[in-house]
Amino acid sequence: MDSFYDMKAWELLGLIAGGEVKAAEVLDSVLDRMERVEERVHSYITPTPEEARAAADAADRAAAGGGAGKAAGIPMAVKDVLCTRGVRTTCGSRMLEGYVPVYDATVVERLRGEGLVMVGKANMDEFAMGSSTENSAFGPTRNPWDLERVPGGSSGGSAAAVAAGEAIWALGSDTGGSIRQPASFCGLVGMKPTYGLVSRYGLVAFASSLDQVGPITRDVKDCALLLSLLAGHDPMDSTSLDAAVPDYLAAMEGDIRGIRVGVPRELMQEGLTDGVRKAVEGCLDLFARLGAEVEEATLPNLDYALSAYYIIAPAEASSNLARFDGVRYGLRVKGADDMIEMYGRTRAAGFGPEVKRRIMLGTYALSAGYYEAYYGQAQKVRTLIVRDFQDAFERFDILVSPTSPTPAFGLGERTEDLLAMYLSDVCTIPVNLAGIPAISIPCGLEDGLPLGLQIMGKVLGEATVLRAARAMEEALSFKARPGAEKGVGA
């Protein structure tokens, strides 16, 4: 079987368009790879091989007629938080174990229009609440680089699928780092776009003011290509920005001489492993050699970002998840004597421990007498963080930091140490609070595990972020792949 599963989307699109390979052959390669590694990795909750075969055949017919879409023939994993018509959408929860949507999320609908070949719904932390994909009701996903380590979260299934060759690219969602951190842990490129650039319609909400859909890919060119298919105004989403979408593929080309790079001191302090610090400092030297101007930056209120996030996100989750009550859809526990008992028993059985923890925290923060002391104060801190980023972008074109303070940690290592788990997102959370775009690219290895460099930009500054990421990617020339000793091998 040809190793098409290990290629990039833009390479395969060229081969398919040129008639050198069929979409069905690419799919066969990916499905064969899934048969060999999925049992060990567990990237998927719901594989969809039959739907994928029908889509690949349709892509081949379209290519023969000269009308193939821009994503036609590329096998993709879709995070199981995005509604897919006729395919169950569980959000990694027993609460929605049997839920089959009657409509597609806007991003899925747009990709279907471009020839989407969906090979499955990817595993995730329940309702996107987690940093390790250990909170899934359907069991954890393992990191393809080391099967005893986590792939990150909450989009760990999406990242693991791409890293293991079980998909060419994937969709994830990012509320506090859930695309970028798994991309970092799995040696991939992952991007959180500007809030509102990509539609949230059909994305099952965790924290509505923070959630954003984005791509997980093998290189920056694939990221730019997939983002161009996702971005754009959607009247079905009231928070969608009505802004022109640039040509991201064209924008990412060119050198970065003269670009101003800021390095927030608050993200380069204690907590970083030696490997992460050295890898990021090496990238800063590369930026300078490429002609960029590199200086220290400061975001004075960043020390409060984690605390503010863990008030705002649970508060919004408490409100959003109130709809899962056993009345309209999803799980309903039978045998209750009245409605209140049915609510309680259904939610107790349907939600896992982390989701219950955040619902209780969020409900408390929103309760009478505590709203202003907790939620109100957290929103004020958020405003200060937004202003810190605005001030920084008056001086700098991009900001650079580690994506995560550490490489992937061991399965079970942090499940009982919640603070350590939450701190794994300390570098990514501020980006969501500010609503700005950020990308993670592979920047080195520590103990054989990949590390990520985070590049942040101003609102709607995706083009600049992608250009800087592309230049750094070419300079770093990161070629490492999962090994066979601890991982799945290439």
For the stretch 130-185, pLDDT in tens is 999 999 999 999 999 999 999 999 999 999 999 999 999 999 999 999 999 999 99
Percent of the chain at pLDDT > 70 equals: 100
Confidence of residue 269 (pLDDT cuts 50, 70, 90): confident
Q: Which long-range contacts (CB under 8 A, 24 or more apart) does 412-415 make?
A: 412/134, 414/132, 415/132, 415/134
* pLDDT value for 468: 98
| pTM of the entire predicted model | 0.97
Q: Mind spelling out the 3-state secondary structure of the chain?
A: CCCHHHCCHHHHHHHHHCCCCCHHHHHHHHHHHHHHHHHHHCCEEEECHHHHHHHHHHHHHHHHCCCCCCCCCCEEEEECCECECCECCCCCCHHHCCCCCCCCCHHHHHHHHCCCEEEEEECCCHHHCCCCCCCCCCCCCCECCECCECCCCCCHHHHHHHHHCCCCEEEEECCCCCCHHHHHHCCCEEEECCCCCECCCCECCCCCCCCCEEEEECCHHHHHHHHHHHECCCCCCCCCCCCCCCCHHHHCCCCCCCCEEEEEHHHCCCCCCHHHHHHHHHHHHHHHHCCCEEEEECCCCHHHHHHHHHHHHHHHHHHHHHHCCCCCCCCCCCCCCCHHHHHHHHHHHHCCHHHHHHHHHHHHHHCCCCCHHHHHHHHHHHHHHHHHHHHHHHHCCEEEEECCCCCCCECCCCCCCHHHHHHCCCCCHHHHHHCCCEEEEEEEEECCEEEEEEEEECCCCHHHHHHHHHHHHHHHCCCCCCCCCCCCCC
pLDDT on residue 128: 98
Tell me, yes or no, whether 133 lies in a domain. yes
- pLDDT confidence of 214, banded at 50, 70, 90? very high
Q: What pLDDT, in 10s, does the model give residues 432-467?
A: 999 999 999 999 999 999 999 999 999 999 999 999
Catalytic entry in 43, 136, 154, 199: 154
Q: pLDDT tens-digit profile of 277-307?
A: 999 999 999 999 999 999 999 999 999 999 9
Report pLDDT for 341. 95
CB contact at 8 A, 180 and 440: yes
Asked if the structure places residue 331 within a domain, the reply is no
Active-site entry in 22, 29, 79, 401 = 79
For the chain, the average pLDDT equals 96
Kindly list the distances between the CA atom of residue 351 and the CA atoms of 7, 96, 335, 370, in Å, as whole numbers in the listed order: 38, 10, 18, 25
Looking at residue 113, its pLDDT comes to: 96
For CA atoms 167, 168, 171, 177, the dihedral sign is positive
Domain encompassing residue 16: 4-253+438-476
Decide if 154 is catalytic: yes
Q: Is 479 annotated in the active site?
A: no
Q: What CATH code is carried by the domain that includes residue 157?
A: 3.90.1300.10
Copy the structure tokens of residue 150.
Answer: 């986590």
38, part of any domain: yes
pLDDT, residue 2, reads: 77
How many CB atoms are closer than 10 A to CB 256?
21
Query: What is the band of 65 on the pLDDT scale with cuts at 50, 70, 90?
Result: confident
Examine the residue annotation and report whether 440 is marked as an active-site residue of this protein.
no
Q: Per the domain annotation, does 359 fall within a domain?
A: no
Residue that wins the pLDDT comparison between 386 and 328: 386
Sign of the torsion angle spanned by Cα atoms 389, 390, 392, 397 = positive
Residue 238 has pLDDT above 90, yes or no: yes
Question: Which residue is it, tokens 């293991």?
Answer: 164
Residue 173 lies in a domain: yes
Terminal C-alpha separation, the chain:
14
pLDDT of amino acid 66: 84
Task: Give the type of residue at 108.
Answer: V
Give me the pLDDT at residue 328, please.
86
The answer to whether residue 43 sits within a structural domain is yes
What phi and psi values does residue 437 have, to the nearest 5 degrees? Answer: -85, 150
372 within domain boundaries? no
Residue 419 lies in a domain: no
Q: Between 184 and 1, name the one with better pLDDT.
A: 184
Domain count, the chain: 1
The active-site residue, picked from 29, 43, 136, 178, is 178
Instruction: Please give the C-alpha separations between residue 91 and each of 137, 156, 173, 315, 330, in angstroms, as whole numbers.
Output: 9, 13, 11, 19, 11
- Is residue 1's pLDDT more than 60? no
Q: What pLDDT, on a 0 to 100 scale, did the predictor assign at position 139?
A: 98
311-357 per-position pLDDT tens digit: 999 999 999 999 999 998 899 999 999 999 999 999 999 999 999 99
Residue 266 dihedral angles phi and psi, to the nearest 5°: -65, -20
